[in-house]
Amino acid sequence: MVPTINALPDFRGETVRGKPGYFRVGQAETGQWWFIDAQDRPFFAKAVNNVSADAEATHDPAARLRTWGFNALGCGSDQLALDEGLPFMAVVNFCSGEETVNLGGVKLPDVFSKDWRDYARERAAEVCLRLIGNHELLGWITDDSPSWPSRPELKRPGLLQVCLSLDPNKAAYHAAWEFALALHGGKLERMAKAWGAELANKDALRVMTREDHGIATAAHRRDDGQWSQEFARRYFVTTTSAIRKVDENHLVLGPRWGGPVAPRLRRECAAAVDVALVDYTELGEVSAGPVMLGDFCWAQNSFYESTGSRRGLGPTKIERMLRRGRLALARSVAHTSVVGYAWSRWHDRKSEAAPFGTGLVRADESAAVEHTELLTAINDRVEELRAVALAAEETL
């Protein structure tokens, strides 16, 4: 159900981003952030990622979305959006170029390459020009699930180690070695000692990386954090600039991460884009809006795992999932910085089975009612939940 909102709340003018006549975003005088649609009405995005319309499908996906209270199409659904007239997000995919950092599970643009800016502009022109006049486009996603080391993992190579292990014909390789050695007096042996690693030469580090063995010391994590922040800054500054150069009408949303990311990445993203896509677990760390939940789904272990060892008449696995899921989503949509959310998937993965599949539609095209019934109830009450949360804040 699409709520009817008759009047536009007063927005703080200095917070409004975007161009009139297209989707914008702004903070109301109440403190809540909202998308603002082309008709100047506040809009809270309730989307689903990767919605598809197969020729043999027996159900109309757009009709199903509306029945379940969704009002937008998430990442990976743009062709359907052009057919259905629903608000949607589109992806530029800057990671699809040839000049990439591609090693150890990482695949990112080589942001130190002399050709990086030109490539970003060319890619933005190729993708964005076709939708420059579309009034239903919520905004541009820079990349869908970029292969970035999102959180420091003690046993796997971080971004700095990966870049130090690239082929010498990569610009990021030379930039990384210049950066790392400068922090340690220009000496490989001093760097190795600080990191607690046995590195007789540069090839020794490359072997470690190819064997998926990361350096786990605090000193290396500190250096990796600084490098990752600079890498992220170059990525976000260049991609947002390239999109805005081509398309001044639409918002920039940053990447769809696909999960939590390191705080440094999140900060660099928020500084450059109009609306950052975040994981629901990160809302406690969000100091300012606007943000959108990029991949929400309660069909995961953190929602249905049992915290006790005793067997009894307590809640079942599915009861825990739905109870915790309801609470998490209701709290998230009521958050003052949140302007929308996207359910992670339309179809179940092939390896999944009901009632714990992540999609809203099963392989046989039947609805995953264990999800859709509760989502419909929450979607229909989003504006009410936000109003109640606001009233509660005002009484404190």
> What secondary structure letter does DSSP report for 183?
T
Q: DSSP secondary structure string, 76-117?
A: T-HHHHHHH---EEEE--GGGSSSEEEETTEEEE-TTSTTHH
What residues does each domain of the chain span? Answer: 13-395
Q: Which residue bears the tokens 């009233």?
A: 391
Q: Which residue bears the tokens 């607690």?
A: 196
pLDDT of residue 306: 81
pLDDT of residue 146: 93
The C-alpha atoms of residue 242 and residue 224 are separated, in whole angstroms, by 27
The C-alpha atoms of residue 123 and residue 49 are separated, in whole angstroms, by 23
What is the maximum span of the chain, computed from C-alpha positions, in angstroms? 70
Looking at CATH, the fold of the domain delimited by 13-395 is given as TIM Barrel (3.20.20)
Contacts of 283 (CB under 8 A, 6+ apart): 291, 332, 335, 337, 338
pLDDT of residue 127: 97
Provide the pairing of β-strand 291-296 with 338-343: parallel
Mean pLDDT by 10 residues, the chain (396 residues): 48 94 96 96 96 79 95 86 82 94 94 98 98 96 88 77 97 98 97 96 95 93 96 98 98 95 92 97 90 96 79 80 96 97 96 94 94 98 93 69
SS3 call for 180? helix
The C-alpha atoms of residue 161 and residue 229 are separated, in whole angstroms, by 14
pLDDT of residue 4: 41
